[in-house]
Amino acid sequence: MEPVRLPSSATAPLVAKLFGAQPPTADTDELIAGLVSFRGVSPQCSYGDLDRLAAEFVRLGLAGRELPGTEADEVASVLARTLAIMGELDTTDVLAVRLGPQDYARRLRAEVPGAARELSQESACFHDSLLVAVCLHVLNLLIDRSPGLAERLPERSHRIRQLVDLGDVAAVRRRPAPSPQDAEFEERYLRSIVGKYNRVTIYGIDLPNPNTPDNWPLDATYLSLGAEFDATEDPSPPEPVMPADRALAGQERVLLRGVAGSGKTTLVQWLAVSTARGQLPEELEPLRGRIPFVLPVRRFARDGFPNPDDFLTAVGHPLAAEAPEGWVVRVLAEERALLLIDGIDEAPEGRRDELRDQLRRVLRIYSGNFCLVTARPPAVGAEWLADEGFNELSLVPMTRDQVASFITAWHHAARTDEGKDHRKLDDYREKLVQSIPLYRELRGLATNPLMCGLICALNRDRSGSLPKGRRELYEAAMEMLLQRRDPERRVLYADEVSVQRAPRERLLRKLAYRMLVDQRPVLDEAAAVGEIARHLPAIPALARQGSPEEIFSHLLQRTGLLRAQQDGAVEFVHRTVQDYLAAKEAVERRAFGLLLEHAHEPEWEEVIRMAVAHARPSECAELLEGLIAPGYTGFQRNRRRLLAAACLEHVTELDPETHARIRRETQNMVRPSNIAAARGLGWVGPIVLEMLPDPGTVSDDEAHRLAVTVTRINDDAAVHYLASLRDRSSLPLRAELARGWRNFDTERYADEVIRHLDPEGLYFPVTERVELAVLAKLGGRECVQIAGHFTVDELREGLVRERLTHLWLAYDLGAGGLEWLEAFPKLTTLRVNPRLPRVTGIPEGIRLIS
C-alpha cells in the first residue's frame, strides 16, 4: 500500500486542536501529556471531539482510496483510541522528535494492543500508515511551537519538515488536471516568456535609426555552441564535443559552465522560448509541456534563493501579481517545471553555498523537475552539485565553422538597419572570415559570441581595421559607442544632453565601481540616480546639461551600455563591460587595496586582469606584488598566485624582477593532481606554457593531465608542447591530443601532432570540413569520430573509403537511414552516441555499438 500523506493545509488545523491554543515557547523536554488539549484541569477538547478529529483524519487519508464496507468508521475509532494515548505516556517533545514519526507511532500503538484486531488487513495497514502521517504533523507542530527543538535537533527537525513538504507535494499530484484558472494563466505566462526572451542583443551593431531596436529575434541569430561533459579520471576516451542543446538530451539536472560571453544566457533564453512554444528538437522531447522559470541569480543574490511562491516576484515578472495562489508550487509538485537558474557567479562567493543549500531543498522536495544552473568556470568547485545528481557540462570555444556562421548571421542582421554601407557588408564579412584564422590575436579573441560580436562591429565601424588585444578591443568599443555612435548616425537631438565620450564614460565607471564595491550586479534606479548626483558636480561638462535624473535617462537611452529591468533596476548589457569600466575606475582611484583584498574571489578575476591592463608600470608592479605577497594560505594563496601569472598576459610594461618572481612563485603550481584541476589550469592562459615541467620527465598519467591543460590554451606555443607528447602509447593521452586540434591551426596541428599519433584503438575526431579534408590528406584513419555537422555527401567524399574500419557517430546527421555506409567496404563497426536518435538502415555486416 502506498504510504498515506496528508496535506498540511488541511491537517495542521486539526492537529492544532489536539493541543489547543498554546503560545510559542523556547522550553524543551516538556511532557506531551501536559500539552494535549483533551487532558488537564480544564480541557479544551473532549474525547467526543477527539473522535470527530480522528474521523476527519481518516477522510483526508482516504482521498483516492476505498476501504471495505463501513471500516472507515472503525478505523476512525481505533485512531481516536491510539491518539488518546498521547495524554497517558511520559514521552517528552524532545524524545518524540528524536524518535521520528514512525517510531513515535509505533510507541503509541504498543499502548493499545489488539485495538486493530477487528479490522481487515487492508484497513489495519491503512490505520498504521495514517497514524504515522498524523504523528508527523504532531511533531511538526511541536517544532513550530518550540524553536529550541529545531536548534537542539536540527537534522531531525529538518527531516520532519521535509516530510511534511513531500506530503503536500503528493497531495497536489493527486489532482487530475490543472484548474481552468491555472490553465488560462499558463497560456498567458508562456506567451510572456516568448515575448520577453525571444530577443537577443548582437553586441555592437550600430543602428542609424534611433527608433530601431538594439536587439534581434532569437530565431534568426541563435547559434548552438559546442559543449562537453567534464573530464574525469576514467581512462576511457572522453565523450566528444556536441551541440550544447543536444548535450542536454537525457539529462534532468545540469551545471553548465562557460566563460564570460560564451553564450550561457542565450542558451537559457533559447530553452525557455523553445519550451514555451512547444518547438523543441526531438532529443529534448522530455521538456515538452514543461513550464519554464528563468531565474537570473543577480535578481535575488542578496536575498537568497526564493521560495517557489516567490519565483515570479523575485525576478520582477510582470504577471507576478496575477498568478493564481500556489500556482508555482503546483507546477513543481506535478513535475512540470523547467528551472533555468542563470549565473551563480553573480552571487557573492560567501553566499553561493547558502544558495546551493536552498536550491537543494527545493529539488529534494520537488523532484522530477528539469534544472539547469549556469556559472563561470571558477565560480564554484568541482562536483558542487554532484550529490544532487547534476552532471557538469562546459561550453567550449567556438570552432572556425561556428565563428564563420556567427559572422554570417551578424552581417545578415546588420542588413535590417538603415545603414548606408549595406553593399559593403559582404566584403566585410568575407574579409573577417578569412582574417580570423590567419592572425593569432584575433583567433584567440574570437572564441565566444560576445567577442565575435565586438569584432564584427568594430570591423564594420573601421572598414576592416581591427584592434588586436582585449583591452584595445574594449577601448575601441567605448570609442564607437560613447563618442562616435550618435554623431555619425546624425542622432543629434534625441535628448537635451550633448557631451563627448570622457564625461559619459566617467559616470558609467562610477556606476560600475559602485556595483563592484557593493558586490551587486544591478542597481535600483534610486541608487543609480543617487550615485550620479554624488559625482555630477565634479564633472562640469555634464553637470550643466541637466539634473541627475535627466543624465541617468541619457546614459540609459543613448550609450548602449546600460539596460533597465522591468522593475526599474539597471544593469550593464554584459558583465564584462561592467568589469572593464569598474577596473578602469579602480585604477583611477588607486583602489589597489580593495582589489587585492578580494583577489582570491572568482568574481573579481576579470576586474583584476583588466586593472593590470589599465595600470601604469609602477601600479602594475604594485598589483602583481600584492597578489603574491604572504598572508594567505591554501586555496586562496594558490588562486592569487595563479591570477598573478594570468595577468602577465595583459601587462604592457613590467620590471624584470617582478616578472621573474611571479614565475618562481608559480612554477611548482602547474602540475595538476587530477583532471578537474588540469581543466581549471587552462584559464591562466599562455603564461602557463612557460612554467610546465619537461614532458620527458613525467609519467603517462601526468602527461595526460598536462595535455588536458595545454589543449585549452589557444596559443601557437601550445602546439609545440603538445607535439612533445605525441609519441606516447597511453590511449587517454592520445585521445586528448587528437581532440585538441579543434583549438589550433588545423594544418599545422595535423602536421606536428595528428600524423604522429599511434592510431591503434584511437578514434580521430573531426568537427569541421577543414579537419575532414586534412585527415584525408594524411591518408585517412581506421577509426574516425564524427563530432560536427556534416552532410552525408561530405562524409562519403571526405572519409577514405579503403581505410575506414570503425566509425563513431557523435553528431546527429539528420533524417534518413545509414544505407550510405555501404560505400565503405572495410567498415566493420559503427559506434553511436546513446544521446542520438535511434539509427536505422545499417548495412549487413556492420556491428552496432551504442
23-39 per-position pLDDT tens digit:
666 667 888 888 888 88
Give the position of cell 578591443: 473
- pLDDT band (50, 70, 90) for residue 530: very high
Q: Is the distance from CB of 432 to CB of 443 less than 8 angstroms?
A: no
Q: What is the mean pLDDT of residues 247-265?
A: 83
Q: What is the mean pLDDT of residues 794-811?
A: 92
3-state secondary structure of 339: strand
Q: What is the mean pLDDT of residues 663-672?
A: 77
- Residue spans of beta strands (DSSP E) within 238-369: 242-243, 253-257, 291-296, 337-342
pLDDT of residue 271: 93
Tell me the one-letter amino acid at 287.
L
> Which of 63-77, 173-187, 318-332, 709-723 reaches the highest mean pLDDT?
318-332
Q: What is the mean pLDDT of residues 291-296?
A: 95
pLDDT of residue 773: 94
- Lowest-confidence region among 123-127, 582-586, 652-656, 768-772: 652-656
Task: Please give the class, per CATH, of domain 181-396.
Answer: alpha beta
Residue 492 has pLDDT above 70, yes or no: no
Neighbours of 654 (CB within 10 A): 18
Angle at 215 between CA 219 and CA 609, to 5 degrees: 110
pLDDT in tens, 477-487: 777 667 644 44
pLDDT of residue 715: 75
* Angle, in degrees to the nearest 10, between helices 548-558 and 501-518: 100
pLDDT of residue 839: 80
Q: What is the mean pLDDT of residues 291-295?
A: 96
Q: What is the mean pLDDT of residues 269-297?
A: 89
Angstrom distance (rounded) from CA 800 to CA 585 = 58
The three cell numbers locating residue 840: 536505422
**CA pseudo-torsion sign 99, 100, 101, 102:** negative
pLDDT of residue 239: 65
3-state secondary structure of 549: helix
- Lowest-confidence region among 333-337, 369-373, 376-380, 773-777: 376-380
Give me the residue spans of the domains in the chain. Answer: 8-173, 181-396, 399-468, 759-850
pLDDT > 70 fraction of the chain, expressed in percent and rounded: 88
pLDDT of residue 207: 43
**Which of the two residues, 66 and 240, has the higher pLDDT score?**
66
pTM: 0.59
- pLDDT band (50, 70, 90) for residue 108: very high
The three cell numbers locating residue 126: 491503512
pLDDT of residue 371: 95
3-state secondary structure of 362: helix
pLDDT of residue 469: 65
Q: What CATH number does the domain located at 399-468 have?
A: 1.10.1900
Q: What is the mean pLDDT of residues 499-517?
A: 87
pLDDT of residue 428: 87
Residue 494 has pLDDT above 50, yes or no: no
pLDDT of residue 337: 94
**Which of the two residues, 758 and 351, has the higher pLDDT score?**
758
pLDDT of residue 285: 79
The three cell numbers locating residue 387: 550529490
pLDDT of residue 413: 78
pLDDT of residue 806: 95
Residue 450 has pLDDT above 90, yes or no: no
Residue 692 has pLDDT above 80, yes or no: yes
Q: What is the mean pLDDT of residues 204-212?
A: 44
pLDDT of residue 481: 63
User: What are residue 829's DSSP bridge partners?
Assistant: 806, 847
pLDDT in tens, 152-197: 888 788 788 878 877 777 666 555 556 788 889 999 999 999 998 8
Give me the sheet containing 847-849, strands edge to edge: 764-766, 783-786, 806-809, 829-832, 847-849
**Which of the two residues, 637 and 96, has the higher pLDDT score?**
96
Region for 538 from its dihedrals, namely left if φ exceeds 0, alpha if ψ lies in -120 to 50, beta otherwise: alpha
Q: Considering only CA atoms, which of 307, 376, 318, 371 is closest in space to residue 347?
A: 376
pLDDT of residue 490: 42
- pLDDT band (50, 70, 90) for residue 441: low
User: What are residue 784's DSSP bridge partners?
Assistant: 764, 807
Q: What is the mean pLDDT of residues 663-684?
A: 77
Angstrom distance (rounded) from CA 375 to CA 360 = 16
Q: What is the mean pLDDT of residues 777-790?
A: 91
pLDDT of residue 208: 43
> Which of 207-211, 215-219, 256-260, 340-344 reaches the highest mean pLDDT?
340-344
Neighbours of 351 (CB within 10 A): 18
pLDDT of residue 201: 64
Q: Is the distance from CB of 5 to CB of 67 less than 8 angstroms?
A: no
pLDDT of residue 210: 41
pLDDT of residue 511: 94
pLDDT in tens, 604-624: 888 998 899 899 989 999 999
The three cell numbers locating residue 355: 544558495
First-to-final CA distance of the chain:
39
- Lowest-confidence region among 529-533, 637-641, 828-832: 637-641
DSSP 73-127: HHHHHHHHHHHHGGGTS--BHHHHHHHHHHHHHHHHHHTSTTTTTTS-HHHHHHH
pLDDT of residue 82: 92
Q: Considering only CA atoms, which of 807, 829, 813, 830 is closest in space to residue 243?
A: 813
Strands 291-296 and 337-342: parallel
Residue 493 has pLDDT above 50, yes or no: no
Residue 791 has pLDDT above 60, yes or no: yes
Residue 571 has pLDDT above 50, yes or no: yes
Angstrom distance (rounded) from CA 542 to CA 551 = 8
pLDDT of residue 353: 87
pLDDT of residue 147: 76
Angstrom distance (rounded) from CA 62 to CA 68 = 12
Give the position of cell 539596460: 563
- pLDDT band (50, 70, 90) for residue 810: confident
Strands 253-257 and 391-395: parallel
DSSP state of 390: P
Neighbours of 641 (CB within 10 A): 20
Q: Considering only CA atoms, which of 328, 4, 333, 53 is closest in space to residue 168?
A: 333
Q: What is the mean pLDDT of residues 357-375?
A: 89
pLDDT of residue 257: 87
pLDDT of residue 606: 84
Angstrom distance (rounded) from CA 558 to CA 647 = 33
Angstrom distance (rounded) from CA 400 to CA 746 = 10
| Residue-averaged pLDDT of the chain | 83
HSE value, Cβ hemisphere, 13 Å, CA-based, for 596 = 18
- pLDDT band (50, 70, 90) for residue 354: confident
Residue 649 has pLDDT above 80, yes or no: no
Neighbours of 15 (CB within 10 A): 22
pLDDT in tens, 699-724: 999 999 999 999 988 777 788 899 99
Q: What is the mean pLDDT of residues 667-676?
A: 78
Q: What is the mean pLDDT of residues 493-512?
A: 76
Q: What is the mean pLDDT of residues 690-701?
A: 86
- pLDDT band (50, 70, 90) for residue 566: low
- pLDDT band (50, 70, 90) for residue 206: very low
DSSP state of 785: E
Tell how far CA 272 is from the center of its chain: 14
pLDDT in tens, 546-560: 888 888 887 876 676
pLDDT in tens, 751-780: 999 999 999 999 999 988 899 999 999 999
Angstrom distance (rounded) from CA 61 to CA 137 = 13
